[in-house]
Structure 1
């Protein structure tokens, strides 16, 4: 069971862990939300209350909060700060019952930081769980969807203050509608979705995901040598450093395109100069697949990320510039994603990026 007040130090570690788990282009948004949250903690005199789902009444209604974007990164049009409160109020009105806890739509990147500041603004407890355990590009790719839970009703607030409430059940349909609305609302939307009881979240969510990000950040933010950090991450995550390689080619970074999908695929090629191995990364919002000499080393749902070898600081997709040397790392996602149903929902074929992966990952 978890019940404690998060501190300013926790915020820094949470942000580091959130960026490590999601190797994306836009780390700036997570940093902005970290700073916003630190300001709120200073103003309030205390941090948000972190609780386990089983700390709440089993019938207590909870909901996820998170950004959904379509063509605009949040750092390009910074939120005013009340967008999620508005979405939560709209959702409560539609449900007809009060919300008693919030959790991240994805425990990674900026969406891991959002509910922390929202918890401070609203006084709601932050539940130590999420429905992804990492980040996936589609709203429909959640463990709650795997369990047959409805994604809606979903409340949205755009950067101009316009709002909408969508009464949608099927998560796949919710993905298309919410993504289209995000575009119409101004490029992104603050959303409250997947309203479920604490009992359902405890049974079908990824439990302890916020605490895990803080632990990751504590390791990476420490003054230890890079190899010592890797050893601790291996114990915590089952992590393995796949290869240290230098970038030799980048075929464009992901930007929005086809409706219903967040962006089109792109690729990067790196070379392990010590052994001459060729590494290829397939990217759509984040790294979906890593191949070494043509053999698959890691593929979604595995988490694939990058750090800078000199100090194990978190790298982003912006670090994929020709000549740069990076450590490429992978580790397993939540167990739910390795079921046949989980793989069918999140494997690259489901995201229209690369063909079906046959025979699993190479070892």
Structure 2
């Protein structure tokens, strides 16, 4: 499949749908960089399924990792991932045959497309999360016991490093610390593996899914028709239209090793007056209605604007604003016992937070 400018626009919309807490401006800037490259070089990117590769072809994940805080004002130049990629390829002694996003959501969904254009190698239709999770090791590759490294990392000032690390939890701590030293973020190349391993362990079809979702969101249709299409094609199981009543940031810090900025938002459901509470910690983690949990990690929770079904962000959480809260299932791997242990509510101490505990 060739990806043209419209596909990249759809990809951005679908990526924000699956990770609406992301910085929308960063996603838009990455889309603009990608489209500008397409126009200046009169080329398109290629998206291929993993089955089209040889089993021993090298596939590498690409993605930004921040220091646990919002991405800094230091914007990418555009070649940072090429530097990180070269470090990993040098360690392996061969070139990657294709690239996957570190997460099938937010800005990281767009990163492999630009790298594909720059290198002439394809994007692979797969990823390790099927959405976005707060922590680097919350991937299906961790469930399979796969190595995160070697990891190439490049910062906004051009500093770079190769981390010879295999354990994914150790990699999380090292890369976050390195991102902080770099100036707030690191462009990383990581999780190198063969195409055969990716076909067995990865979440397949996740890039084309984002393009499909984005095409629905950007269609010239009423909001209700878009909701219906999302129910049919993506398994959306609940849409709650509710008005923001209160937004509370929590003063206590996040647990060690986890992203900060936990907060809680209270809504009033439009039709019934029921109380809806949303827990946020870099991502939308849990939704409760009248105290009963209706969605929690690894469920995907996102927000849309009622007027046109465009993706809302954290800036839309102001008192009096009405939003559609949308819930759909994550990848099947996350609902196994091991998956729940890695990304479920206990992994992020959600039950304690919901009850006001420490």
Q: Please tell me the TM-score bracket, short chain as reference.
A: over 0.9
Out of 17, 23, 26, which is 2:23 matched to? Answer: 26
Pair 1:205 & 2:195 matched: no
Alignment: residue pair count: 354
Out of 232, 237, 250, which is 1:235 matched to? Answer: 232
Q: TM-score, normalised by structure 2?
A: 0.95
Alignment of 1:247-286 (within 5 A): 247-252=244-249, 260-286=257-283
Alignment deviations for residues 10-51 of structure 1 (CA, whole Å, 9 cap, x no partner): 011000000011121511111111111110111121211111
Cα displacement (A) at 1:260 = 2.1
- Distance (whole Å) between structure 2 residues aligned to residue 82 and residue 259 of structure 1: 32
Pair 1:313 & 2:306 matched: no
- Distance (whole Å) between structure 1 residues aligned to residue 180 and residue 220 of structure 2: 43
Cα displacement (A) at 1:311 = 1.1
Cα displacement (A) at 1:96 = 1.8
- Unpaired segments ≥5 residues, structure 2: none
Partner in structure 2 of residue 223 of structure 1? 220
Partner in structure 2 of residue 244 of structure 1? 241
Pair 1:324 & 2:321 matched: yes
SS in 2 for 1:50: strand
- Distance (whole Å) between structure 2 residues aligned to residue 178 and residue 256 of structure 1: 20
Pair 1:181 & 2:172 matched: no
Is contact 2:246–2:265 with CA below 8 Å preserved after alignment? yes
Cα pair distance change 1:48/1:343, threshold 3 Å: same
Alignment deviations for residues 88-147 of structure 1 (CA, whole Å, 9 cap, x no partner): 000111122221111000010000011111111111211010000000011101111111
- Distance (whole Å) between structure 2 residues aligned to residue 215 and residue 59 of structure 1: 29
Cα pair distance change 1:255/1:331, threshold 3 Å: farther
Cα displacement (A) at 1:72 = 5.2
Cα displacement (A) at 1:214 = 0.5
Is contact 2:69–2:260 with CA below 8 Å preserved after alignment? no
Cα pair distance change 1:18/1:254, threshold 3 Å: farther
Cα pair distance change 1:260/1:349, threshold 3 Å: same
Is contact 2:72–2:184 with CA below 8 Å preserved after alignment? no
Pair 1:190 & 2:187 matched: yes
Is contact 2:263–2:280 with CA below 8 Å preserved after alignment? yes
Partner in structure 2 of residue 78 of structure 1? 75
Pair 1:137 & 2:134 matched: yes
Alignment of 1:39-188 (within 5 A): 39-70=36-67, 73-74=70-71, 76-188=73-185
- Distance (whole Å) between structure 2 residues aligned to residue 120 and residue 355 of structure 1: 46
- Distance (whole Å) between structure 2 residues aligned to residue 211 and residue 12 of structure 1: 13
More moved, 261-270 vs 285-294: 261-270
- Distance (whole Å) between structure 1 residues aligned to residue 251 and residue 4 of structure 2: 35
Cα displacement (A) at 1:356 = 9.6
Cα displacement (A) at 1:283 = 0.3
Cα pair distance change 1:92/1:29, threshold 3 Å: same
Cα pair distance change 1:247/1:211, threshold 3 Å: same
Is contact 2:72–2:183 with CA below 8 Å preserved after alignment? no
- Distance (whole Å) between structure 2 residues aligned to residue 150 and residue 15 of structure 1: 29
Q: TM-score, normalised by structure 1?
A: 0.94
- Distance (whole Å) between structure 2 residues aligned to residue 255 and residue 155 of structure 1: 33
Partner in structure 1 of residue 295 of structure 2? 298
SS in 2 for 1:314: coil
- Distance (whole Å) between structure 2 residues aligned to residue 180 and residue 312 of structure 1: 37
SS in 1 for 2:60: strand
Alignment deviations for residues 175-220 of structure 1 (CA, whole Å, 9 cap, x no partner): 1111111111111000001001001111111111110000001001
SS in 1 for 2:83: helix
